[in-house]
A and B are shown apart, each in its own frame.
Chain A
Amino acid sequence: MSTPGETAGETVDSAREMLPDNSFLIQYPHVSRVVRSLFLTAFVAFGIGAFMGVLQALHRTGVARLVDSADYYTLLTLHGVLLVIVFTIFFLAGVFAWANTRSLDRPPVSKRFTWFWVATMSVGTAMAGIAILAGLIPSTDISADVLFTFYAPLQAHPIFYIGLAVFIIGTWLAGIDWFRQYLAWRRENAGERIPLQSFMVLTTMLMWFIATMGVAVEVVVFLIPWSLGIMPAPNPLLTRTLFWFFGHPVVYFWLMPAYLLWYTVLPKIAGGRLFSDPLARVVFVLFLLLSTPVGIHHQYVDPGIAEGFKFIAMTNTMFLLLPSLLTAFTVVASIEHGARQRGGTGYFGWLKALPWRDPAFTGMALAGLMFAAGGFSGMINAGMNINYLVHNTIWVPGHFHLTVGTAVALTFMAASYWLVPRITGRKLYSRPIGLFQVVLWFIGMVFMSAAMHRGGLAGIPRRTAEPQYPQVTFETVAGSVSSLRLQLAFGGVLLFVSALLFLMNVGLTAMNNKPARNLDSALPPALSGPDQSPTVLDNLKLWALIAVVLVILAYSLPLYSIVQGAGLYPAGQEASPAVIAPLLEVIA
């Protein structure tokens, strides 16, 4: 508590008293705490994952090899799991907890339940993380050097798979929490349209429930019993297919919180309003319907899957471009509206009227710009026969560092500059550092991703500690391979510096004694409101049902034919590494 006589300025405590009554922190102190806790885990994972990233960038380019090449894959597993599972999904959970509460204007039903899923997700993460890190300690038999995709018969310690399962159960509980919150709202608001942010949360979670069925079956039915030594090794093609059943929709799970922020927060920061609420709903429904029945496009060059199934996945994938193309329109139109409200004029002159000094705006705008580039390289990946040229080359990480690595990650960082003050009541430590940081991320990614795409066209493989082979000469279209390596490493270093600046800025914000100002959490209504769209859009049961039917149509025949081919447990499959003593032997 400050007294008027103090000259050090207001403390946060006194500032909280000064916060407007409608600020999120005052209305929902408990949810704010939940979000802070989720963000903390997300940011710690981000820091470690980014450090692994720069080590890899320096290692595979040969600039500096600080670890043994055999350990490179442990770092790569850590990089993948921490960044695309822990960072993205914990941040998502924070954004969704905030958005669902804010838009329904009521807290979750049970505080204990909320903390229960936070704890479940955290315990699962810790288990998987310990299994991976133990791989660096030779004296333990525990390891999980299986990368983010954990293709059997490469085998991880059971702790890794169990941790993964516990984590996913935690995300399901989170989804249940948000649905209960919605149903409580519905009881008091019969006949009303679902508030937009809540609609986005709910459709995304429905998509997630469907998508995670694949990985849940893979892990719980096959991998855990196998790693415990209870069951034989499963059909590797089957577990791969179950993984990609989940592995593609998970990318939309990363992306949907970014979309939620682009649709609902970005227009406000730009000074305007969302262009069209109906179209936003259509986009999220399309993602619910189309995200899952496309996973086989990750298996275009897999044996054992007929070409027809690949063609169907390709067609679905191409139509999945539609919601993203619609998003590009709506987001740009909303920003333009904002710029014109701020006095911008002309065909392109309005661009100058945007709040480019605000890191939250600039970060999200640059993230969206890069998503366009990532979208185009993704269209090439999606081209079934064109994909032959780039499949599993470093082109692919080049692509997804634009999408999840920038469209998602940079949006999350930019949004943090806006959201963290709203859940802590503390003023952002430094806007200039924030601005510099988001621009640095963009520049670093331009270098790294361009080098990766070009290296991929030369055939340089991904997921490799030393892509330098005595037998192989990689020929680039333009420039030398060594210059590409330097660009990749340089970009990686810039990205790491940017990540450090972000963590520092957010950390100092969390400790900042200056109170945040202008904490208005209200979001302006859309120019075209929900009343202009048919109510069937809000019929979540209908869309979920159609989504399930599409998944059954897309997957039942391929799964049936895979099992018909080699069976569930084909003879002759052996775990690698074969160091883990099966549990039954340990007990005996």
Chain B
Amino acid sequence: MHVHNYEKLWLGASLLLIVGFISTIVYGAAGAGITMVNDEGGQVNPQELGNTSGFDDPGVTKVGPNEYEVHVVGIQFAFQPSTMEVPANSTVTFYVTSRDVVHGFEIVGTNANTMVIPGEVSKITVEFDEPGEYGIVCHEYCGAGHHSMAAELTVTEPSNFTMQDDTQTQTGGNETTNATATPSGGESA
């Protein structure tokens, strides 16, 4: 087959570009440690969330010295809970599912972003470097009131953070200060 020289050159450059793109993704996964939402969250019965550990009482739970879990349920047209608070510089794992239709979960200004599918649990682990107020929006159309579906996440200075959940006691805040907090929001790790 006859291929012109310019075509060959272009073909080579194109393949190089493609391999380059794939390399950036591999670097993001292996180097920067950005993992994808996957099948680790498992399955639940959307009608039985009240009897499902974690989703029976959605909200923030402390699970380790500096580790928190947040269970969130999407319903038409709200998130439960509608406000959440976690300390900065901690590892926060969100478990998100839906009681009815497909929703979305996006912590605005960060790369914490997942689909929320009834029957499936989305698990994303996030580290917040910087205290602040973050909005959470449902980014998948879920019905006539979709545009009112949002929630609020407060990331607090570790020294000011107290668990609102009375079953958990707060251990002394993180001793490091936030002087080095980076401007970027979160990072899925």
| Interface size range of chain A in the complex | 35 or more
Contact of B117 among A236, A389, A466 (CB under 8 A): A236
| Interface size range of chain B in the complex | 35 or more
A350-393 contacts to B (CB < 8 Å): 379, 382-386, 388-389, 391-393
B61-114 contacts to A (CB < 8 Å): 76, 100-102, 104, 106, 108-109, 111-114
Contact between B14 and A466, CB atoms less than 8 A apart: no
- 9-residue interface stretch from A88-96, A301-309, A443-451, A502-510: A301-309
Contact of B146 among A73, A318, A470, A572 (CB under 8 A): A73
A251-299 contacts to B (CB < 8 Å): 275-276, 278-279, 299
Contact between A306 and B146, CB atoms less than 8 A apart: no
Query: What 0/1 readout, one digit per residue, does chain B (119-132) give for beta carbons within 8 Å of chain A?
Result: 11111000000000
Kindly state whether residue A117 has any CB partner on chain B within 8 Å: no
Contact between B113 and A318, CB atoms less than 8 A apart: no
> Provided the pairs A326-B14, A576-B76 are in contact, do residues A533 and B1 lie with their beta carbons within 8 angstroms?
yes
Distance, CA A585 to CA B4, complexed state (A)? 68
> Provided the pairs A154-B101, A301-B115, A388-B34 are in contact, do residues A566 and B15 lie with their beta carbons within 8 angstroms?
no
Kindly state whether residue A573 has any CB partner on chain B within 8 Å: yes
Chain B binding surface, main DSSP class:
mixed
Kindly state whether residue A472 has any CB partner on chain B within 8 Å: yes
Contact between B135 and A472, CB atoms less than 8 A apart: yes
Distance, CA A201 to CA B4, complexed state (A)? 26
Residues on A with C-beta less than 8 A from B36 are 300-301, 307, 310, 384-385
> Provided the pairs A393-B106, A572-B48 are in contact, do residues A315 and B22 lie with their beta carbons within 8 angstroms?
yes
A457-483 contacts to B (CB < 8 Å): 458-459, 461-467, 469-475
Residues on B with C-beta less than 8 A from A333 are 6
Kindly state whether residue B173 has any CB partner on chain A within 8 Å: no
Contact between B17 and A304, CB atoms less than 8 A apart: no
Kindly state whether residue B54 has any CB partner on chain A within 8 Å: no
Contact between B46 and A572, CB atoms less than 8 A apart: yes
Residues on A with C-beta less than 8 A from B138 are 461
Contact between B47 and A302, CB atoms less than 8 A apart: no
Distance, CA A240 to CA B7, complexed state (A)? 39
Residues on B with C-beta less than 8 A from A13 are none
Identity of the chain A residue whose Cβ is nearest the Cβ of B116 in the assembled complex: A303
Contact between B106 and A461, CB atoms less than 8 A apart: yes
Query: What 0/1 readout, one digit per residue, does chain B (161-189) give for beta carbons within 8 Å of chain A?
Result: 00000000000000000000000000010
Kindly state whether residue B137 has any CB partner on chain A within 8 Å: yes
Contact between B135 and A303, CB atoms less than 8 A apart: no
Distance, CA A9 to CA B12, complexed state (A)? 57
Distance, CA A385 to CA B14, complexed state (A)? 22
Contact between B151 and A471, CB atoms less than 8 A apart: yes
Contact between A465 and B147, CB atoms less than 8 A apart: yes
Residues of A within 8 A of B (CB): 69-70, 72-73, 76, 145, 147, 151, 153-154, 235-237, 240, 275-276, 278-279, 299-307, 310-311, 314-315, 318-319, 321-322, 325-326, 329-330, 333, 379, 382-386, 388-389, 391-393, 458-459, 461-467, 469-475, 528, 532-534, 561, 565-566, 570-574, 576-577
Q: Which 9 A-B pairs have the closest CB atoms?
A: A472-B135, A572-B47, A388-B111, A70-B144, A392-B139, A461-B139, A459-B108, A572-B45, A303-B122
